[in-house]
A and B are shown apart, each in its own frame.
Chain A
Amino acid sequence: MSKSQILTHAKGQQVVLQLDKINKIFNEGTPLANHVLHDVSLQVSRGELVALVGTSGSGKSTLLNSMGLLDVYSSGELRIQGHLTQGMSEQQRTQLRSESIGFVFQFHHLISAFSAIDNVLMPLMLRFGKPNKEQTEYAKYLLNEVGLAEYADKPTNRLSGGQQQRVAIARALVTRPALVLADEPTGNLDTQTADEVFDLFERFNVEHKCAIVIVTHDPRLSARCPRTIRLTDGRIVYDGASADLPNEFTKTV
């Protein structure tokens, strides 16, 4: 981090994520070309909780995957914690991803061959090999935080949907990432479970000061995020305080 320049927000906060005119075109140069993201520019600072909303097909997942270096964008500039990601090799992208970013997906995407605690430890094990005591303790602590201490050694396919999603949140946090990207993490859960899961995001956002970008269709949940970004057809049509989101948008989520 010392080498690259760390941008700071107007209010003096560290900028974790900075996008400048990001475009994404699927199947570029073929007749099937599909221009999904148009000149998307945004910044996310340390400790922010951002809701990313928009109709289905508006490009939310594509944007999240580009920000998380899971996918390559077609043009524009993307910085993660000050690191410019253009021209990075697959290996460098993988390293930056594993150091800085935690993911939570809609379908709780755990690896069923492993126990809950092993799933939580997976990002650390992939990076450092056999976990040490401190890492294991931290994973246990996180499982306890999400209320699943007693399920640590259970295979994950015995857990309910909400429980699995909570394991996935613990897993996203285990590397103490600067940025957590969550793609409809509550989309598959009933209202009450969704609220509980969202509570966790809120809590970790405050306690760990990690920036969280969360894609959601639920206006109640996006209202609980201080900031909302709205995508329509791959363009940002609103980026500001959730409270000020124009009514025309809140109806059609």
Chain B
Amino acid sequence: MLFVNSIKHLHNSLWIEWRIAIRFLADNPLQTLLISVAISVGAAVIVFITALIMGLQSNIIDKTLGTQAHIRIEATQQHNNFSEFPDGKYVWAMESPRAQRLQSINNWQEVRDALDQNSVFNTVSPLISGPAFATKGTARASVALMGIDPKRYIGIINLKDYLTDGRFSIEASDILIGYQLAEDLGLQTGDKLRIDAGDNLQSVMNVAGIFELGVRELDSRYVYTSLKQAQTLLNLPGGITILEIKIDDVFSADYWAQRTQKLTGLYVQSWMESNGQLLNALSSQSMTTQMIRIFVAMSVIFGIASVLAVSVVQRTREIGILRAMGSSQQQILRVFLLQGGLLGLAGSLLGVFIGFTLIEIFNAIDAKLFVIRLESSTMLSAIFIATLAGVLAAMVPARRAAKYDPAVAIRYV
């Protein structure tokens, strides 16, 4: 009962503070409007920059990961074995690293099936990849022969989306080649192409489709064929060299790579390791925008604080009257904190709207640029933070108002 009463009391006592705060703001419309616009410009800049950078970064990551697996599992590299060193003796050894021949992942089907059980891994796709020469007439090009399981591989790179000519088929002797390779060797769909993997292993293939992944290295070297064909050509019957994985949360790749490494004992690498430079660039970009956001937020906070400081002085006499009418110091404090919060709220609502409009304009200007999406969580957090910042900004002026000596304030003209 006491609790209910005190809640009721709090609500009731806040009622008048709300009213006074709103009336004070409404009583000085020009000042309120100006500061709200200033806050909204700050909020709009923050919202726009945040969305822009987030859009840009996710665009870069999407592009990078569009033609890459998130996690790659390879057979453990071959290394030299040393006989055990005798105790208490130093051994000088001269080691020359061993040449790495193509090596299959042991029991890869079992590994694949085990990984399939984990729902985090959207796609687990086997790949056998090795070097070969492609020849047409007298023209020769060195290529990477990619033997894939097509049903699974489209979960890694959806080749159908990248086809510029022909159809998606690696049945029998059908292969898919990059457009750059097609240009280099003067190939069209339907043409024959000899693939020579050395050791007298060669085969004449049929170019079923031509793709453009947008990465020169891949477009000039990749030759997709079936697992079986590649296994035969690369002399690795039944084997694969790589298991590729895609996951939902791309930034958890490192974590899952480590777990997989522990689980399988194989050599596992995430895209984050192999794209360290890119991630570095992205994170320093994030830091720069964070700085911009902080400085804009600070100028907004000081803006609110200075306007309220002026308002407190303007209202000195009224504060004195309110005190004489029986208001407590806390009530005066809350009236001004509420004003700060209301200014932050109004300004950020307007600002989010402006930011939203800016983003729409940006998206409309050139569709070829990447599209910025404004997440509702960005908008909500902008509004929440701005409102909180308003209350914080009001702290100093509000305390000053609460501490006014009523006898002195009453006389103020």
- Which residues of B are found within 8 Å of A130, using beta-carbon distances? 12, 15-16
A171: contacting residue among B16, B318, B325, CB under 8 A = B325
* Interface pick from B96-104, B248-256, B260-268, B402-410: B402-410
CB closest residue in chain B, given A172: B325
Q: A111-B318, A129-B13 are in contact. Are A123 and B325 (CB under 8 A)?
A: yes
B residues 283-339 in Cβ contact with A at 8 Å: 317-318, 321-329, 331
Minimum C-beta distance from B403 to chain A (A): 10
Q: Does A88 contact B (CB under 8 A)?
A: no
Total contacting residues, chain A, CB less than 8 A? 29
Give the residues from 1 to 56 in chain B that come closer than 8 angstroms, CB to CB, to chain A: 9, 11-16, 19-20, 23-24, 26-27
A10 within 8 A of B: no
Chain A hits for B331, CB < 8 A? 126
Contact A122 B322 (CB under 8 A): yes
How distant is the Cα of A123 from the Cα of B26 in the complex, in angstroms? 21
CB pair A125 B322 closer than 8 Å: no
Judge whether A129 and B12 touch: CB under 8 Å. Answer: yes
Bound: A25/B314 CA distance, A: 28
Residue ID in chain B nearest A94 by CB atoms: B328
Once the chains bind, are A123 and B326 in contact (CB under 8 Å)?
yes
Please tell me if the beta carbons of B16 and A68 are within 8 angstroms of each other in the complex. Answer: no
Q: Of A99, A103, A129, which is within 8 A of B324 by CB?
A: A103
Which residue on chain A has the smallest CB distance to residue B19? A125
> Is A114 an interface residue, CB under 8 A from the partner?
yes
* Contact indicator B406/A70 (Cβ below 8 Å): yes
Q: In the assembly, what is the distance between CA of A191 and CA of B313, in Å?
A: 34
Which of B15, B24, B405 makes the CB contact (< 8 A) with A71?
B405
Per-residue CB proximity of A52-84 to B under 8 Å, as 1/0?
000000000000010010110000000000000
Q: Is A98 part of the contact surface with B, judged by Cβ < 8 Å?
A: yes
Given A91-B328, A109-B317, A128-B12, verify A70-B407 contact (CB < 8 Å).
yes
- Identify the interface centre among A70, A91, A103, A105: most chain B CB within 10 Å of its CB: A70
Q: Does A113 contact B (CB under 8 A)?
A: yes
Name the interface residues of A91-145: CB closer than 8 Å to any CB of B: 91, 94-95, 97-99, 103, 105, 109-114, 122-123, 125-130
Across the interface, name the chain B residue whose C-beta is closest to A171.
Answer: B325
- In the complex, the chain B residue whose C-beta lies closest to that of A96 is B326
Contact A127 B321 (CB under 8 A): no
Q: Is the CB of B410 within 8 A of A111?
A: no
B23 to A65, Cβ gap below 8 A? no
Q: Which residues of A contact B324 (CB under 8 A)?
A: 68, 70, 97, 103, 105
A113–B24 CB distance below 8 A:
yes
CB of B112 to closest CB in A, whole Å: 69
Closest chain-A Cβ to B122's Cβ sits at a distance in Å of: 57
Report the minimum CB–CB distance from B331 to chain A (whole Å).
6
Closest Cβ–Cβ distance, residue B240 to chain A (whole Å): 75
List the B side residues contacting A91 at CB < 8 Å. 328-329
Once the chains bind, are A71 and B407 in contact (CB under 8 Å)?
Answer: yes
B326–A97 CB distance below 8 A: yes
**Inter-subunit contact A125/B321 (CB<8 Å):** no
A28 interface hit (Cβ, 8 Å): no
Tell me the smallest distance from the CB of B296 to a CB of chain A, in Å: 32
A20 on the B face (CB < 8 A): no
Kindly list chain B residues whose C-beta atoms are within 8 Å of the C-beta of A175.
326
Q: Is A202 an interface residue (CB 8 A)?
A: no
Type the 1/0 row for B390-411, where 1 means its CB is closer than 8 Å to any CB of A: 0000000000000001110010
Evaluate contact between A105 and B328: CB separation under 8 angstroms: no
The distance in angstroms between the C-alpha atoms of A122 and B16, with both chains bound, is 9
Q: Which of A110, A113, A129 contacts B26 (CB 8 A)?
A: A113
List chain B residues, Cβ under 8 A from A94: 323, 326-329
A53, chain B: closest CB distance, angstroms: 20
Q: Bound complex: CA of A71 vs CA of B12, how far in Å? A: 28
For residue A74, give the distance in angstroms from its CB to the closest CB of chain B: 13
Complex Cα distance, B2 from A126, in Å, reads 21
> For the complex, is A90 an interface residue (Cβ under 8 Å from B)?
yes
CB distance A90 to B325 under 8 Å? no
In the complex, chain A residues whose CB is within 8 Å of the CB of B20: 113
Residues of A near B323 (CB, < 8 A) are 70, 94
Contact residues in B for A95 (Cβ distance below 8 Å): 326, 328
- On chain B, the residues within 8 Å of A65 by CB distance are 407, 410
Q: How far is the CA of A95 from the CA of B329 in the complex (A)?
A: 11
Alpha-carbon distance between A213 and B280 when the two chains are bound, in angstroms: 77
Question: For residue B317, which residues in chain A have a CB less than 8 angstroms away from its CB?
Answer: 109
Residues of B within 8 A of A127 (CB): 326
* Among B13, B14, B26, B329: residue with most chain A CB under 10 A: B13
Q: B322: which of A71, A126, A129 is its contact (CB, 8 Å)? A: A126
CA distance A90 to B325 in the complex (A): 14
Name the residue in B15, B318, B326, B410 with the highest tally of chain A Cβ atoms < 10 Å from its Cβ: B326
Q: What residues of A have a CB within 8 angstroms of the CB of B406 in the complex?
A: 70-71
Given contacts A71-B407, A114-B23, contact A129 B326 (CB under 8 A): no
Q: How far is the CA of A238 from the CA of B20 in the complex (A)?
A: 43
- Residues from chain A with a CB closer than 8 A to the CB of B321 are 105, 109-111
- Could you give 26 example pairs across A and B, Cβ below 8 Å? A68-B324, A70-B324, A70-B406, A70-B407, A70-B410, A71-B405, A91-B328, A94-B327, A94-B328, A97-B324, A97-B326, A98-B326, A103-B325, A111-B322, A113-B318, A114-B23, A123-B326, A125-B15, A126-B16, A126-B327, A126-B331, A127-B326, A128-B12, A129-B12, A129-B16, A130-B16
Interfacial residues, chain A to chain B (CB-CB below 8 A):
65, 68, 70-71, 90-91, 94-95, 97-99, 103, 105, 109-114, 122-123, 125-130, 171, 175
For the complex of A and B, list the 7 residue pairs with the smallest distance between their C-beta atoms, beginning with the closest.
A98-B326, A129-B12, A71-B407, A113-B27, A113-B23, A65-B407, A125-B16
